[in-house]
Amino acid sequence: MSQQKTKVRIATFNVSMEALNYLPHTEGQAPQVTGDELAHSLGTNHQQIRNIAEIIQRINPDIILLNEFDRRDDSHQALKTFLQDYLGKSQQGQTPQNFPYFFQGPVNTGVPAPFDLNNNGESGESPADTYGFGFFPGHFAMALLSKHPISVDQIRTFQHFKWQDMPGALQPVDPETNKPWYNSDAWQQMRLSSKSHWDVPVSVNGQTIHVLASHPTPPVFDGPEDRNGKRNHDEIRFWLDYVTPGKGGYIYDDNAVKGGYQSHEPFVIMGDQNASSVEGDAINTGIQALLNSKQVQDPNPKSDGAAEYTQGNPHGKHHTAYWGMRADYVLPSSFGWTIKDSGVFWPKADDETYRLIKDRQASSDHRLVWVDLELPPVSSNK
CA 218 – CA 58 distance, rounded (Å) = 29
| 142, β-bridge pairs | 67
CA 65 – CA 356 distance, rounded (Å) = 19
What number of CA atoms fall less than 13 Å from residue 242's CA on the CB side? 29
pLDDT value of residue 380: 54
DSSP states of 352-378? GGGGGTSSTTTS-SB--EEEEEEEPPP
Residue positions counted in the chain: 382
Amino acid (one-letter) located at 3: Q
**How many CB atoms within 10 Å of residue 177?**
9
Q: Is 324 left (phi over 0), alpha (psi -120 to 50) or beta?
A: left
CA 167 – CA 171 distance, rounded (Å) = 11
Q: Which of 103, 106, 108, 288 is nearest to 192 (CA)?
A: 108
Indicate the DSSP class of residue 136.
S
- Estimate to the nearest angstrom the gap between the alpha carbon of 78 and the chain centroid: 18
Amino acid (one-letter) located at 59: I
* 6-375: CATH topology: Deoxyribonuclease I; Chain A (3.60.10)
CA 113 – CA 331 distance, rounded (Å) = 32
CA 23 – CA 15 distance, rounded (Å) = 16
Cβ atoms of 298 and 331 closer than 8 Å: yes
Cβ atoms of 163 and 180 closer than 8 Å: no
pLDDT value of residue 312: 86
> Which residues in the chain show pLDDT less than 70?
1-2, 26, 125, 379-382
The residues spanned by each domain of the chain are 6-375
